Amino acid sequence: MRSWSLRARLTFLTAALLCVALVVGAVALTTVLSRSRMAALDDVVSQRAATVASLAADDRLPPALPVEQPGEVVQLLDSSGRVLASSPTASRTLPVLPAAQVADLRGRSPWVGTTASAYDTQARVAVRATTLDGEPVTVVATMPLGEVRSLLRALSVALLVVVPLLTAMLALAIWYALGKALTPVETLRRAAAQVAVTGGPGSLPVPDSDDELGALARTLNEMLDRLETASARQRTFVADAAHELRSPIASLRAAVDVAAAHPDAYAAEELAADLDGDLRRMQALVDDLLLLARVGAAPRRREPVDLAALAADAAATRASVVGSGSAVADRDAVTRIVRNLVDNAERHATKRVLVTVEPGRVHVDDDGAGIPAADRDRVFERFVRLDDARERDVGGSGLGLAIARELARDEGGDVVLGESPLGGLRATLVLGD
């Protein structure tokens, strides 16, 4: 069965279970019916034997012993097995049971059981001992089992036909129902296979029904989106690293070549100083790129955060912090966001940087030249250069605002830029719920 499809396995197992249940039910029905019918026959022959025995004991025997059921036979036999009285359904000369058997059963009177008789191949027999005119006699009442056995045989044949038919019908119904139920699964599989073959972005079709398959499709689409986002971040990281590291590496290469070509003109202390600046810049750039590549890759630890205390720690002595407020967020991420915003404001401020805290918000204001409204979204792009007042060569890696917005959006919030009351730029961190 391992090579069978899921549809075939489920159909087979369900049909097999139903077949077993039907067989067990058929056997139980046959057993119950057989026992109930045998109990009914036992009541008939026992009551008939008791009635005739009472009539014989009271010397009130009629000329013909009474019977009611078709095939019922009643005889009164003496101790030698001769027929003293008989029902109209039996001979007055042919005893229903042999004399030896009657003598044996008389010792166990009253007795009810199944045995062959002179009138039926198998019958339910009741034997009861009594007396007639002071002499011991035996009453034997029988009911044939042919009718019962014919009924059970017909029932067995019917069940042999009904059970396979019902099993086949259910198997067809299950096969059809599973086909309908698994069609969306097959559609999802084909779409997933197509995404795997193309190796690019894609989405899986979501069934119209709002059930487990719909939830599965939505979850898989979310997973594909996250994988595509992670892949895009990786591609961006590689492209940015290749592009932005080219200049410092070239500068390092030039300094080393000059030092190698003119060892007397390029002192070791001067070489070390020149290399140190470029190395620090490369280190900061790589750290920022790695941070951007990791954003959203792992769940963050969210907890209540005192924004005022966090802002004071991030700003240190470089800015004034006023106000109070809190939010539920990742402490390390919010600290990095505020620190980047303060760093950016400090680099471009004329004299003053102010941090204002509100519930769920942190405003960072500077008194610098500001940013035109048309360029406020562009500065969040990586390595975007504006005018000389805010170019990345003034001390940063060019990724501070990009990191701040990425981290904020990963927290369910955002970073927006506007005009500051101090005359420069206001950067506002908005945290979600």
Q: Could you give phi then psi for residue 92, rounded to 5 degrees?
A: -85, 0
Give the Å distances, CA to CA, from 378 to 48, 371, 372, 375, 382. Answer: 109, 10, 10, 5, 9
Query: In this predicted structure, which of 151-155, 345-349, 373-377, 404-408 has the lowest mean pLDDT?
Result: 151-155
Domains of the chain, residue spans: 7-149, 228-294, 303-430
What was the pLDDT predicted at 174?
87
180-192 pLDDT, tens digit per residue, is: 777 777 777 777 7
Which of the two residues, 433 and 122, has the higher pLDDT score? Answer: 122
Q: How confident is the model over 313-337, as a mean pLDDT?
A: 87
16-69 pLDDT, tens digit per residue, is: 888 888 888 888 888 888 888 888 888 998 999 999 999 988 888 888 888 888
CB neighbours of residue 383 within 10 Å: 13
Q: How confident is the model over 318-335, as a mean pLDDT?
A: 88
Determine the distance from the C-alpha atom of residue 1 to the mean position of all C-alpha atoms in its chain, rounded to a whole number.
23
Which pair of tokens denotes residue 333? 């991420």
What was the pLDDT predicted at 356?
93
What was the pLDDT predicted at 183?
77
pLDDT(370) > 90: no
Closest CA to 414 of 428, 399, 398: 428
Distance CA 25, CA 22 (A): 5
Distance CA 203, CA 199 (A): 12
Angle at 104 between CA 99 and CA 106, to 5 degrees: 90
Q: Average pLDDT of the chain? A: 82
Token pair 């029932």 is at which residue? 155
Distance CA 147, CA 129 (A): 28
Same fold, 7-149 and 303-430: no
Which of the two residues, 409 and 235, has the higher pLDDT score? Answer: 409
DSSP letter at 417?
Answer: E
Q: How confident is the model over 227-255, as a mean pLDDT?
A: 71
Closest CA to 139 of 91, 84, 193, 178: 84
375-412 pLDDT, tens digit per residue, is: 888 888 776 656 544 444 444 556 788 888 888 888 88
Q: Are 189 and 213 in contact (CB under 8 A)?
A: no
pLDDT(253) > 50: yes
Architecture of domain 303-430: 2-Layer Sandwich (3.30)
> Domain spanning 7-149: which CATH class is it, in words?
alpha beta
Which pair of tokens denotes residue 286? 């790589």
Radius of gyration of the chain (CA): 50
pLDDT(342) > 60: yes
Query: In this predicted structure, which of 116-125, 152-161, 339-348 has the lowest mean pLDDT?
Result: 152-161
pLDDT(140) > 90: yes
What was the pLDDT predicted at 419?
92
Coil, helix or strand at residue 382: coil
What was the pLDDT predicted at 385?
57
Q: Produce one character per residue of 407-423: b if its CB has 16 or more CB atoms within 10 Å, e if not.
A: bbebbebebebeebebe
Query: In this predicted structure, which of 159-168, 218-227, 364-373 has the lowest mean pLDDT?
Result: 218-227
Q: How confident is the model over 155-179, as a mean pLDDT?
A: 84
pLDDT interval class at 199 (50, 70, 90) = low
245 Cβ neighbours under 8 A, 6+ residues apart: 282, 285, 286
What was the pLDDT predicted at 391?
45
CA dihedral (45, 51, 52, 57) in degrees, to 10, reads 140
Counting residues of the chain whose pLDDT is more than 70, the rounded percentage is 86
CA dihedral (253, 259, 260, 264) in degrees, to 10, reads 170
Element (H, E) at 127: strand 123-132
Q: Are 419 and 359 in contact (CB under 8 A)?
A: no
What was the pLDDT predicted at 429?
93
Distance CA 204, CA 191 (A): 6
Q: Are 359 and 327 in contact (CB under 8 A)?
A: yes
Beta strand 83-86 with 73-77 is: antiparallel
Q: How confident is the model over 67-85, as a mean pLDDT?
A: 89
DSSP letter at 207?
Answer: P
Task: Classify the C-alpha dihedral 411-413-418-420 as positive or negative.
Answer: negative
Q: How confident is the model over 5-15, as a mean pLDDT?
A: 83
What was the pLDDT predicted at 397?
59
Beta strand 123-132 with 111-115 is: antiparallel
